[in-house]
Amino acid sequence: QVQLAESGGGLVQAGGSLRLSCAASGRTFSNYAMGWFRQAPGKEREFVAAITWSGSSTYYADSMKGRFTISRAYGKNTVYLQMNNLKPDDTAVYYCAADYNPYRASSSHYDYDAWGQGTQVTVSS
């Protein structure tokens, strides 16, 4: 089993940036793909970005392309989500997740096997 812990959320003004981190432990880091999802109050959980085990392939939701960047650092067993040009609609709890299929990098939350507790991101207008 892998354990995940997000950090880096907070309050930021529209147009600003944040970098979220997800520290992984308990399972070899290269054995799983990683994803970020978010959930705003009253809304469904939404795919944000995903990255394969090697980091060679990344995928983004259309509304995040060009603004968000997912990456992973093997020496730190950490996945990052760099978020630039934030908008009030980006306000949500952000979750990282691990998919034990390391090649898949799915956009469906049903494919993920482990989840972090979430970190709140609030973007003010």
Taking only the tens place, the pLDDT of each residue in 42-98 is 999 999 999 999 988 999 999 999 999 999 998 899 999 999 999 999 999 999 999
CA distance 123 to 17: 10
- Asked if pLDDT for residue 29 goes beyond 90, the answer is no
Instruction: Please tell me the predicted confidence (pLDDT) of residue 74.
Output: 86
Mean pLDDT of 12-23: 98
Mean pLDDT of 22-27: 91
Q: Confidence class of residue 41 from pLDDT cuts 50, 70 and 90? A: very high
Instruction: Please tell me the predicted confidence (pLDDT) of residue 59.
Output: 96
Instruction: Please tell me the predicted confidence (pLDDT) of residue 87.
Output: 96
Measured over all CA atoms, what is the biggest interatomic distance in the chain, rounded to whole angstroms?
41
Is residue 32 exposed (0-12), middle (13-18) or buried (19+ Cβ within 10 Å)?
Answer: buried
Look over the chain and give the mean of its residue pLDDT values, rounded to a whole number.
Answer: 95
- Asked if pLDDT for residue 120 goes beyond 90, the answer is yes
Instruction: Please tell me the predicted confidence (pLDDT) of residue 30.
Output: 81
Q: Which of 58, 57, 61 is nearest to 46 (CA)?
A: 61
